[in-house]
Structure 1
Amino acid sequence: MNAFRLKKQLWRRWRRWKKALWVGAACIAFTVLAWRSMQVPEEISGLLTNSSWADSADSELAAAVFKVGEDSDEAKEKGTLNNEQLLQTITQSGLSRTVHLKTTYVSGEEIQTLPGVKNPLQLKTIINEHPEWSGWISSEGDLWLEQKVNDLSTMIKNKAYIGVDAFGNLTLFKGPPVQEKVLKTFFQMDMGSLKSSLPENIWKELHEGIRVQDIEEYNSVLSTFSDYAREAAEHVMQNKQ
């Protein structure tokens, strides 16, 4: 009898313990589900609240810089990634980042920095909206997206002149050369040969600035005056000797 009663008591305790374990597990699962249901609306709300960067080109730029003939060291350091690789990196890190949009033109680079710091959902949206762009994560943790355009930038088309500076260099200027707003120096020219070879009106136009409004004019001017580059002239002299 004592053995029978002992087994019966142990069986009852086991049933109570098993029931308590099941209830505890159910409570934990319910708590996790409730927490996740609160997190998803917060993330979506954050995306909707901060997505105004795409609504207006004017309000979106924290900074815009145009650089001519300067390559970014960041791309060389990190190596560029395609769209899929960028999305994977953003997902794995889970970090918020500053975003820079870089457009590389024939005449130089234009860099736009989007305002604020973007969370992972916003970063993915930006990457998906630029599917043809490559990119990288800088050493500072910023996201860089880059596209290459075989053309002149809008600023160059509207304001650029090619002329000669005070040192005899063929130069790209923002505005007429007299304003001395140098954007890019191409090469030094043999001014003696240039003056003796060119008609007076072309010589004058070179000093006043030759307006370039499209890629064809830009390439044509460079091709014309490349024959008077000092290095090219010296090379011809050496060959004759």
Structure 2
Amino acid sequence: MRTYRIFIVTLVTIMFVGGWHVFSGQAEENNDTPLNQQHDQRKEDIAKKSLKKAWTKPPLELEVVLQKIYIDGQMSEERRTETVWSLEDFWAAYDGWKVVNQQEGQIVFHKKVKELSPTIKAKGYIGLDEHGKLSIFEGKPSEQKVIQTFYQIDLDELEVLDSQGLEEGIKIKSADQYFQLLKQFEKLAVKKP
């Protein structure tokens, strides 16, 4: 019985002293106990797994379609495949573009451009088609490659100089000239009854 009492007193003393260390903060100073090391290792393993999961996702492959609408009504379309690692960076790259269609694996952007299309810049002419309608041609009107038709011109009102210029075709050199010519010849449009 005496041994039992000594055992209990010793146990209580150890618990008291150990508890005192915990409450006084002395246990924090010695962090190298096997239990603390095991706890730290688990935290580190969890952090590594989380980081690994974040980087193991494959990048997103998208077909990107870029449609530019020019002031002359022409549209150009460019298609490309992009690898998207960051959606934030992806959207920033297309700032100023409008999404017009989005489906799995493809996104279509649309943008109005305040300039002439490459085709019109290179070989655009304004003239009259075979029916007397004001039109834009790819090349001279004699080649009859109509890109866009606007309105019927009153040929009786058309002056001789303007008539000759439109028959041969007037080379479109700039956006300003393009709008100026449309405005100039709009006055000669046949009025519908």
Same fold per superposition (TM over 0.5): yes
Give the CA deviation at 1:112. Answer: 2.9
Give the CA deviation at 1:165. Answer: 0.6
Name the residue aligned to 1:102: 67
3-state SS in 2 of match to 1:167: coil
Q: Confirm whether residue 39 of structure 1 aligns to residue 56 of structure 2.
A: yes
- When the two chains are superposed, the root-mean-square deviation of aligned CA atoms in Å is 3.2
Percent identical across equivalent pairs? 26
Are the equivalent residues in 2 in contact too, given 1:171–1:184 (CA < 8 A)? Answer: yes
Which of 124, 138, 143 is residue 160 of structure 1 equivalent to? 124
Give the CA deviation at 1:198. Answer: 0.5
Q: Which runs of 5+ in 1 are unaligned?
A: 1-21, 44-94, 236-241
Give the CA deviation at 1:178. Answer: 1.3
**Deviation by residue 1:65-114 (Cα, 9 ceiling, x = unmatched):** xxxxxxxxxxxxxxxxxxxxxxxxxxxxxx64311112222102433333
Q: Confirm whether residue 113 of structure 1 aligns to residue 78 of structure 2.
A: yes
Q: Which whole-Å CA distance do the structure 2 matches of 1:219 and 1:120 have between them?
A: 40
Are the equivalent residues in 2 in contact too, given 1:102–1:109 (CA < 8 A)? Answer: no
Q: Confirm whether residue 214 of structure 1 aligns to residue 179 of structure 2.
A: no
TM-score (norm 2): 0.64
Give the CA deviation at 1:170. Answer: 0.7
Name the residue aligned to 1:179: 143
TM-score (norm 1): 0.53
**Deviation by residue 1:117-159 (Cα, 9 ceiling, x = unmatched):** x344276544312322222334676312222222222331221
Give runs of aligned pairs for residues 1-241 of structure 1, distance below 5 A.
Answer: 29=46, 32-33=49-50, 35-36=52-53, 39=56, 43=59, 96-116=61-81, 118-121=82-85, 125-138=89-102, 142-191=106-155, 193-194=156-157, 197-199=158-160, 201-230=161-190, 232=191, 234-235=192-193
Q: Report how many aligned residue pairs link the two structures.
A: 154
Taking a change above 3 Å as real, the CA distance of residues 143 and 189 of structure 1, as seen in their structure-2 partners, is same
